Structure 1
Amino acid sequence: MKKIISKGGLAVLVALMLIGYSCKESFLEIPATGQLDEGQLSTKKGIEGVLVSVYGQLNGRANRMASASNWVWGSIRGGDANKGTDPGDFSDINPIQRFEYQTTQGVILDKWKGLYEGVARANLVMKLIGVAQADVSEDDKKRIAGEARFLRGHYYFELKRGFNNTPYVDETKDYGTGIETVPNTVELWPLIEADLKYAYDNLPETQGAAGRTNKWAAAAYLAKAYMYQKKFTEAKALYDLIIANGKTTNGKKYGLVPKFQDAFKSANDNNAESVFAIQAAANTGSVNNANPEFDLNWPYNTGPNGPGNCCGFFAPSFELGNSFRTDADGLPLLDGSYNTAGKELKTDMGLKSSDPFTPDAGPVDPRLDHSIGRRGLPFLDWIDHPGNDWIRNQSNAGPYSPKKYAYYKADIGSLQDNSSWTPGYTAINVNIIRFADVLLMAAEAEIEVGSLEKAREYVNIVRTRASNPESFVKKGNANAANYVIGIYKTAFASKEAARTIVRFERKLELSGEGHRFFDLVRWGIADQVVNAYLSYEGKKLSGALGGAKFTPNKNEFLPLPQEQIDLLGKEILVQNPGY
């Protein structure tokens, strides 16, 4: 016969149990729900799972502004774009684009926290390797450590160029007892180099899964770290090896995809041009597996005829659009005259979509219409961009829409995810390093310590791909605009002339990919270039950028978050100059 305890009896029973345990400390030792212990994590499966979580932090996850896409920190601050949308939407970005950083801004704290979350996860992998169980071979340990240290090097690289020196914490630091004593007085570059060098020396040339870093990605990242320190000889040596021998994860030799736009199509992810990328997948059952980088960065109010519905952020700048103007030989206007009357790109600024408008008929680089959505031209495979109807607030954003990381109509329901509040989640990978970037950095290194002719060769490889007529945007059977692009047929006249050419090529080829501001800072020209941009753009968008100014020896770096200084103490965490 089943015995049933009454409610009163149950209360007494519980009370007796509590009395019985009250004198035992073990009663207070309750395992955390849903938490794995070291014994479970130190198996091969456990360590691999933690390693995947280190990759998972590349796009920032809960800390959106920590993403390696750097669409705010690299592109908006570099003049590729402005915040766009409406002044009141995500207003925390407004002071960033105006170079009026505040030490208490949430987006700055998000950047910091998201990067240190990545560091913490990488450090956990390294700690687990030290106590790994017997099913983890020595080869496994070497490869896993290579991947973890590569990723840790990436997170510290982002911290270094974002904040300058920040506290360095590795797997030897006891998080529970001493992290508060770590100052930000240690130079990060040698430590970043050590992680990337270890990865280069220990990772295999190819990997068994897409997205895992390999020897060649480590070489490219290490060379990039050298470039930021002006170690051009060391960088050139690596670029020579990468260009001659580098392979993607699946063993294909690095190269440029034939059509420029295919470098940004989800159907073409992990192609020969992808050196290292944030992986994304749609319709997996969790929108967290999709690309959250640009869920806000779509044409606004597009309804059933367009790709986003939300939110009009990341509007390409007038200045960037003008930069794609070419001369009769198809070369860029390196003297800056593209921003002058008669050469500026014609736009529909101030016009309603119902007002008549004829697009610009002058010569332009064809990469313009793969990078910027503008009125009257096809927006991927959707419809012709209608202008103001797709712009949330034209006086704040300007006339353009971002296009590089937009998804195609053909991707709906397969390479695009409809399971969240906005259809802007996609399977588009975000390239942290792609081969065109490698070629142009190699050209820089050649200018400084190698051959101007080799630099010209690399630039022309990039421009030749851009000139492929099969990749031009079409309206019917005709080109959608007057596309005129050529290569540099004569030798570069001098080092200074070569630098100007390569730097401008990076601006055109890599626009909207988060590189521009960091390039300007490492070249030492951020003051003049950014202030010229703000002066020009501020006249077009006075509400958003009017009166904005870049302050040299201050705005190159973000302020350390005040919350962190309050937590650690100002004698431990020293604020950057000017804040």
Structure 2
Amino acid sequence: MKKPIIKGITLTAMLSLVTFACSDKFLDLSPTGTLRGGDSQLFSKAGIESTLVSTYAQLNGRGFSRAASSFNWVRGSVSGGDANKGSNPGDAGGNSNFTTFQRFELLPTNGDVNDKWRGMYEGISRANAVLRAIPQAAADVSDDDKKRISAEARFLRAHYYFELKRSFNMVPYIDETVDYGSGIEKVPNNTDIWPKIEEDLKYAQTNLPATQSAAGRANKWAATAYLAKAYLYQKKYTEAKPLFDQVIAEGVTARGTKYDLAANYTDVFNAATENNAESIFATQSAANTGSVSNSAQELDLNFPYNTGSNGPAGCCGFFAPSFELANSFRVNANGLPLLDGSYNTGANQLKNDQGIDSKTPFTPDAGPVDPRLDWSIGRRGIPYLDWSIHPGLDWIRDQSFAGPYSPKKFIFYKSQDKTLTDVSSWTNGYSAINYNIIRFADVLLMAAEVEIEVGSLETARTYINRVRTRAANRTAWVKAPDGSNAANYVISNYTTPFASKEAARTAVQFERKLELSGEGHRFYDLVRWGNAAPVLNAFIAYESQRLPTGYAGARFTAGKDEYMPIPQTQIDYQGRDVLKQNPNY
């Protein structure tokens, strides 16, 4: 059983002390909401730790919309072509909200865009509160405590700024010395914050312990991996390489075991097996703690629709995997992906039940597919975890808008219902499933990218093959009720050297698409690779032929859609002379 640090937002961390002077003693009353014990409690070890825990708690965007989460399923996966919004056009705002992410029609007035901004700055505010408290810490806070707590706070602050950087690009940088909340100090967004992110991650890497007492707390290796990731985003390959090398060769989990790939691909997304050797840094979720805010709240809509007792949650059909993503799992007879893009043509396209009633007989695709397909995408005729055989249309709210597929990662098992899901609210969809912000497979594939640019194509091939070898574990493939493989699974390694850097880049980029599908990475990967416009416009052209309601007329505009607009609410509050809007909005 996991022992997560995150237990929701604590009252201690959310209160601020108010002091005032008055000569009339009867007016000297403690303001409502102040802490009993005053400063001594706030600056005690327990008080500072509580503020730190609340900083971790903000990782899932608590208090804001689902688009504010560090998961980024809306921006990272829906905008990236892994999935569409799903459900039907009118659910959750239709064309004015989540659908605008898939159509690249975001406006500065979009509430979800503003919530992403607010959610990340809320995390930064909490991290800054920790750092402001450290110099005033009580006697029970040792020097080692101060170093560790400061390093954790700066690691988290770097994460929130990393999210802002890749979401909005130019954003205000506010540290613990800035009196931003009062509205007195206004900070412009005219300075690149990458150096500040690096500075915090370097401090965390130097000062965090190699192991931690609780799952979910950042350690030295999480900081090392994150710093390498920040370098990769800036194309600082020479700086990133030794850091990835260290994590792969020497990195250990919070409990002191070596980082490695989980033996079974599905274990990465299972609440009963998470915080394993593959988890480098993850949000921590829990169920039945007395508050659904401790659960994976951001995933509550992302279940098959109208499942009744045969499927999980019963709502709401969001986050439907795309036709294009499903096709991407097609392989050739040797078990290698179709890197030339032919998976979207002719008989290579995955057979699906679009427009076919659940009562009408249907035989699933019999061609060769990567086994990760059926751990990533729910499709008709294939077992849906331990719930039942996916019935197709009966589990889809509106096929003409969402397509024929259901999300399958981050879905709880029937055997876990009401134990690893919360029973206190309108849905059992509030689960205890963690989200891995960085996992070891992600590190291997990022390291492969770096090796291609400044290292060795052969080392890159080794890293890619390591990920593929785990996927080839036959014991973990999805099984039919009779124990046979549920589909024609074929997968193999790259057995010959890559012919060129370009060939190697194509291989690793496609491997990230398969391995990390639906995990919020795809859009950001395309932007940093510089090929977002051609890839996403080709995706839209293909998908719009099948789902015209959701995609017809959509277009990704280079020089604009790489970043979200600066929220108009923030510009109005700070002033147009302080916050400058992103280009072409």
Q: TM-score range by the shorter chain?
A: over 0.9
Alignment partners' CA distance in 1, 2:106 and 2:294: 32
Partner of 1:577: 583
Paired amino acid for 1:400: Y
Alignment partners' CA distance in 1, 2:504 and 2:145: 45
- 1:22-421 matched pairs, under 5 angstroms: 24=24, 27=27, 30-33=30-33, 35=35, 37-63=38-64, 64-91=66-93, 92-177=97-182, 180-421=185-426
User: Secondary structure of the equivalent of 1:427?
Assistant: coil
Residues 434-481 of structure 1 show CA distances to partners (whole Å, capped at 9, x for unaligned) of: 000000000000000000000000000000000110011111121100
Paired amino acid for 1:378: P
Partner of 2:514: 508
Q: CA deviation at 1:515?
A: 0.2
Q: CA deviation at 1:209?
A: 0.7
Q: CA deviation at 1:186?
A: 1.5
**Which is further off, 109-118 or 61-70?**
61-70
Q: CA deviation at 1:24?
A: 3.9
Does 2:467 match 1:462?
Answer: yes
**Which is further off, 23-32 or 445-454?**
23-32
Q: 1:167 to 1:451 in 2, by over 3 A?
A: same
Alignment partners' CA distance in 2, 1:65 and 1:39: 37
Does 2:503 match 1:530?
Answer: no
Does 2:436 match 1:435?
Answer: no
8 A contact 2:35–2:41 mirrored in 1: no
8 A contact 1:173–1:179 mirrored in 2: no
Q: Out of 490, 493, 510, which is 1:487 matched to?
A: 493
User: Secondary structure of the equivalent of 1:506?
Assistant: helix
Alignment partners' CA distance in 2, 1:178 and 1:62: 21
User: Secondary structure of the equivalent of 2:156?
Assistant: helix
Q: CA deviation at 1:179?
A: 5.2
Q: CA deviation at 1:293?
A: 2.1
Does 2:478 match 1:473?
Answer: yes
Alignment partners' CA distance in 2, 1:317 and 1:337: 16
**Which is further off, 450-459 or 38-47?**
38-47
Structure of larger gyration radius: 1
Partner of 1:498: 504
User: Secondary structure of the equivalent of 1:315?
Assistant: strand
Paired amino acid for 1:199: A
Report sequence identity in percent. Answer: 64
Runs of 4+ in 1 over 3 A off after TM superposition: 22-26, 34-39, 175-180
Alignment partners' CA distance in 1, 2:490 and 2:174: 51
**Which is further off, 26-35 or 388-397?**
26-35
8 A contact 1:199–1:218 mirrored in 2: yes
Alignment partners' CA distance in 1, 2:195 and 2:183: 23
**Which is further off, 139-148 or 279-288?**
279-288
Alignment partners' CA distance in 2, 1:570 and 1:390: 47
Residues 525-564 of structure 1 show CA distances to partners (whole Å, capped at 9, x for unaligned) of: 0000010001100111000111100000000000000011
User: Secondary structure of the equivalent of 2:159?
Assistant: helix
Alignment partners' CA distance in 1, 2:29 and 2:540: 59
Alignment partners' CA distance in 1, 2:24 and 2:276: 61
Q: CA deviation at 1:27?
A: 2.5
Q: Which runs of 5+ in 1 are unaligned?
A: 1-21
Q: CA deviation at 1:94?
A: 1.4
Alignment partners' CA distance in 2, 1:33 and 1:44: 20
Q: CA deviation at 1:482?
A: 0.4
8 A contact 2:52–2:127 mirrored in 1: yes
Paired amino acid for 2:391: P
8 A contact 2:180–2:186 mirrored in 1: no
Alignment partners' CA distance in 2, 1:545 and 1:25: 67
Alignment partners' CA distance in 1, 2:201 and 2:338: 38
Alignment partners' CA distance in 2, 1:203 and 1:483: 43
Alignment partners' CA distance in 2, 1:569 and 1:483: 57
Q: CA deviation at 1:182?
A: 0.6
User: Secondary structure of the equivalent of 2:389?
Assistant: coil
Q: 1:528 to 1:211 in 2, by over 3 A?
A: same
Q: 1:339 to 1:176 in 2, by over 3 A?
A: closer
Alignment partners' CA distance in 2, 1:128 and 1:342: 63
Alignment partners' CA distance in 1, 2:182 and 2:342: 59
8 A contact 1:38–1:128 mirrored in 2: no
Partner of 2:574: 568
Q: CA deviation at 1:230?
A: 0.2
Q: CA deviation at 1:66?
A: 1.2
- The size of the alignment, in residue pairs, is 558
Over the aligned positions, Cα root-mean-square deviation in angstroms equals 1.3
Alignment partners' CA distance in 1, 2:108 and 2:25: 44
Q: 1:89 to 1:101 in 2, by over 3 A?
A: same
Partner of 2:19: none
Partner of 1:445: 450
Q: CA deviation at 1:30?
A: 4.7
Q: Out of 524, 536, 545, which is 1:518 matched to?
A: 524
User: Secondary structure of the equivalent of 2:122?
Assistant: helix
**Which is further off, 448-457 or 38-47?**
38-47
Alignment partners' CA distance in 1, 2:32 and 2:154: 29
Partner of 2:558: 552
Q: What TM-score, normalized to structure 2?
A: 0.94
Alignment partners' CA distance in 2, 1:260 and 1:269: 11
8 A contact 2:302–2:316 mirrored in 1: yes
User: Secondary structure of the equivalent of 2:545?
Assistant: helix
Q: 1:176 to 1:526 in 2, by over 3 A?
A: closer
8 A contact 1:180–1:568 mirrored in 2: no
8 A contact 2:35–2:42 mirrored in 1: no
Alignment partners' CA distance in 2, 1:23 and 1:247: 59
Q: CA deviation at 1:134?
A: 1.1
Q: CA deviation at 1:308?
A: 1.6
Q: CA deviation at 1:55?
A: 0.3
8 A contact 2:108–2:567 mirrored in 1: yes
Residues 251-301 of structure 1 show CA distances to partners (whole Å, capped at 9, x for unaligned) of: 110000111111111000100000000001111222221111211000000
User: Secondary structure of the equivalent of 1:109?
Assistant: helix
Q: CA deviation at 1:165?
A: 1.2
Alignment partners' CA distance in 1, 2:236 and 2:184: 32
Alignment partners' CA distance in 2, 1:211 and 1:569: 38
